[in-house]
Amino acid sequence: MRVVQINVTYGNADSTGRNVKELHDFFLKKGLDSHVYVTAVNDHSEPDKRIHFFSSQRDKQSHAFLSRLTGMQGYFSYFSTQKLISEMDELKPDIVMLHVLHSNCMNFPSLFAFLASKHIATVVVLHDCWYYTGHCCHYTSVGCDKWKKECGKCPQIHQWNKSWLFDTAHKCLRDKKKWFEAIPRLGVVGVSDWITGEAKKSILKDAAIIQRIYNWIDLETFRPRNTVNLRKQLGVTENEKVLLGVASAWSERKGLQEMLLAAKSIPDSKVVMIGKMPEDTEIPENMICAGLVRDPVKLSEYYSMADVFLNPSVQETFGKTTAEAMSCGTPVIVYNTTACTELVGQGCGKVVGNMEIPEYLSAVQEHLGKPKKSSVCRQFAENNFAYHDLCGKYMECISQLYLAKKRRTGI
């Protein structure tokens, strides 16, 4: 079976790039003829003949300008997409898996026309909500459910894939519905129960397969570790309590306000922030800004050092940092919203009311006063986020679509 994954990135520096890389490795070990199409490698991985590139920086810039001008993301990059299609036509994949592609790099009308005309079984992996909305990647924070019927008068038209002038959400959702209906064997994978449930209410509801497959954790890398040297490096004493937050870029949506309030309300703790901070942020004295940490082993040391992991994000389709923290034996505090709720096992932290900041801070203090139940958190991670188990579910999903094609029967 020949499988092609298409994503913006490949490599360990972001979660979807890492997923694609690790799934590619798994497919190869299982004997599949696996290939990946990306716009960039984001780590020190050495590309080989199975890693193919499409788009360019100039193409992305042109697409970004046209997208902002027209309000239509995914309608440009015509020539780079035609090159990708030409190469795939020669490769003749049995399965194509679409990951994150709403990043100014893909011409979706051309891509879906090709997939439909060649009767190629297609799996859409929902890392966010973009594939089934007219414009946005997330909608929970604004309480919008227009995507269930028809988008329009988008409350976030100037966010996500921002538009300068026009609200084309209605047209874009209508086009997506048409594209997906043309795919003869469509599979949809949601990375949490939450987003899988949302997909079943959307334009994707008639897909042949709609299945939840959690993102996995490298349990060997993300495990409880000795953190004596890291504490010395950061100037954190053995007796000081550590609160940890991890994000690629901190914002109000990611819970920056809660992290700052935690530092101010628990002054005898150390609050460690991994990720890019807004330039105008006033940093409390007990807050340590560690910047981006790209090395997974180093990141696991940070998780292990923390007494409590804070993920006060208001909208997550999975929340990989939450799973990674538990895999390192650290309890987590999350809001009762989107996928965050389902990731916290019994005894692995606490779920508090959505946007109930006093309750959130109270839960943090409560857990700082408790013994850290590392073994409970670790066991939950092993039971739910094991790499081989979850990649195996992807194998089952694509095999089901492939065999249906071979038999020329429905699923």
295 falls in which pLDDT band (50, 70, 90)? confident
What is the distance between the alpha carbons of residues 98 and 96, in angstroms, rounded to a whole number? 7
What is the distance between the alpha carbons of residues 233 and 249, in angstroms, rounded to a whole number? 23
pLDDT tens column, 45-73: 788 899 999 999 999 999 999 999 999 99
Is the domain of 137 the same as that of 239?
Answer: no
> Average pLDDT in the 255-276 region?
96
CATH number where 11 lies:
3.40.50.2000
Whether the predicted pLDDT of 206 surpasses 50: yes
Number of domains in the chain: 2
Residue 372: name the closest of 310, 324, 306, 297 by CA: 306
Residue at token pair 């909208």: 315
Is the domain of 139 the same as that of 249?
Answer: no
Q: What is the dihedral of CA 360, 365, 370, 371, to 10 degrees?
A: 90
Residue 391 is assigned to a structural domain of this protein:
yes
Predicted TM-score (pTM) above 0.75: yes
Whether the predicted pLDDT of 411 surpasses 70: no
Phi, psi dihedrals of residue 107, rounded to the nearest 5°: -100, 100
pLDDT of residue 161: 85
Percent over 90 (pLDDT), the chain:
86
Is the domain of 241 the same as that of 336?
Answer: yes
CB atoms within 10 A of CB 177: 17
What is the distance between the alpha carbons of residues 266 and 364, in angstroms, rounded to a whole number? 9
Whether the predicted pLDDT of 305 surpasses 80: yes
- Alpha helix (H) ranges present in 187-314? 193-199, 228-234, 256-265, 296-305
Is the domain of 53 the same as that of 140?
Answer: yes
Residue 155 is assigned to a structural domain of this protein:
yes
> Average pLDDT in the 327-347 region?
94
> Average pLDDT in the 234-239 region?
94
403 falls in which pLDDT band (50, 70, 90)? confident
Is the domain of 152 the same as that of 249?
Answer: no
Is the domain of 300 the same as that of 204?
Answer: no
CB atoms within 10 A of CB 79: 12
Whether the predicted pLDDT of 407 surpasses 70: no
Residue 24: name the closest of 399, 391, 407 by CA: 391
Range of the domain at 206: 2-216+387-407
Residue at token pair 């800004």: 289
Is the domain of 31 the same as that of 129?
Answer: yes
- Alpha helix (H) ranges present in 74-135? 78-91, 108-117
- The H-or-E segment that residue 15 falls in is helix 15-29
Residue at token pair 């309750």: 359
Residue 338 is assigned to a structural domain of this protein:
yes
Residue 269 is assigned to a structural domain of this protein:
yes
Residue 289: name the closest of 259, 310, 311 by CA: 259
Whether the predicted pLDDT of 346 surpasses 80: yes
Residue 223 is assigned to a structural domain of this protein:
no
Average pLDDT, the chain: 94
pLDDT of residue 405: 59
Is the domain of 25 the same as that of 150?
Answer: yes
Whether the predicted pLDDT of 95 surpasses 80: yes
Residue 221 is assigned to a structural domain of this protein:
no
Residue 69 is assigned to a structural domain of this protein:
yes
Is the domain of 198 the same as that of 316?
Answer: no
Both tokens assigned to 190: 């949601």
Is the domain of 333 the same as that of 398?
Answer: no
Give residue 146's identity as a one-letter amino acid code.
K
> Average pLDDT in the 273-293 region?
95
Is the domain of 254 the same as that of 301?
Answer: yes
pLDDT of residue 259: 96
What is the distance between the alpha carbons of residues 121 and 403, in angstroms, rounded to a whole number? 10
Least confident segment among 42-51, 94-103, 116-125, 282-291: 42-51
What is the distance between the alpha carbons of residues 109 and 126, in angstroms, rounded to a whole number? 19
pLDDT of residue 406: 56
Percent over 70 (pLDDT), the chain:
98
Residue 222 is assigned to a structural domain of this protein:
no
409 falls in which pLDDT band (50, 70, 90)? very low
Is the domain of 203 the same as that of 276?
Answer: no
